[in-house]
Amino acid sequence: MSKAEILVIDDEPQIRKLLEIALESNDYKVWLAETGKEGVAMVANHPPELVLLDIGLPDKSGHEVLGDLRSWYNKSIIILSVQNSESDIVSALDNGATDYLTKPFRTAELLARIRSAIRRNQTVSSNTTIHIGNLKIDLAARAVRKNSELLKLTSTEFNLLALFAKNEGRVLTHQFLLKEIWGVAYQTETQYLRVFVGSLRKKIEDDANQPKYITTESGVGYRFGQPS
């Protein structure tokens, strides 16, 4: 099986070297770019499986690069940045980032996020049935089973779970979820989201008060993924 290719776009030589060593030692093939312009050209010429993108680039903002890439590149982009305000994180996620890690970051956490993002690429492109933990989500039949037991979900609950599952490992902002499930007019109605996330947790989690599948990203949104 060929190695997954990852492009690192970062202007700090130490970070590029650190990422190159960490990724290659985990069997990824690594490409490096130090400017936004160079990175976009490399993605266009040879699209990788995943992009690690720094926000603070010398020639243009990483947010601009993200916008440029998202107009045609549909695989995972993980933001790496020293900026950690909620507004920066929400802006990046709403504009198409798959995930967001602040510097300094732990290598083990980055590798876990990368594995999740690459798995999401493969899941979205190839499956109508998604297996996560002890859940089996059949998108075509609109059916969900937990440990082989069929769960009774409302239409909205299923739509919400399907959206989570197709974006496994990705932080989905409140605004994104509200827009996708209820429409643009409901993007500020966060109470809708809290109610339906709560009801969905009661049906899919072993303990809704200590959720393992749907975890809260404080002030930003929710992340759905394999229970730890």
Same domain, yes or no, for 138 and 29? no
What domain range includes position 193? 128-224
Same domain, yes or no, for 145 and 94? no
Closest Cα to residue 118, out of 198, 52, 162?
Answer: 52
Same domain, yes or no, for 93 and 113? yes
When pLDDT is averaged across residues 165-183 and rounded to a whole number, the result is 89
- Supply the pLDDT for residue 123: 60
| Most confident of the following: 57-71, 119-133, 159-173, 199-213 | 199-213
Look at residues 90, 105, 123 and tell me which one is the last residue of a structural domain: 123
For residue 104, cis peptide bond before it (omega within 30 degrees of 0): yes
Same domain, yes or no, for 146 and 213? yes
Confidence of residue 179 (pLDDT cuts 50, 70, 90): confident
Q: Is 46 exposed, middle or buried (0-12, 13-18, 19+ CB in 10 A)?
A: exposed
Amino acid at 215: T
- Supply the pLDDT for residue 2: 60
Q: What percentage of the chain carries pLDDT values higher than 70?
A: 96
Confidence of residue 124 (pLDDT cuts 50, 70, 90): low
Each residue of 46-76: pLDDT tens digit? 999 999 999 999 999 999 999 899 888 888 9
- Supply the pLDDT for residue 226: 85
198 pLDDT higher than 80: yes
Look at residues 105, 123, 141 and tell me which one is the last residue of a structural domain: 123
DSSP characters over 193-224: HHHHHHHHHHHH-S-TTS-SSEEEETTTEEEE
Determine if the pTM surpasses 0.75: no
Each residue of 26-41: pLDDT tens digit? 999 999 999 999 999 9
Look at residues 68, 101, 123 and tell me which one is the last residue of a structural domain: 123
Q: What percentage of the chain carries pLDDT values higher than 90?
A: 58
- Supply the pLDDT for residue 150: 93
Amino acid at 201: R
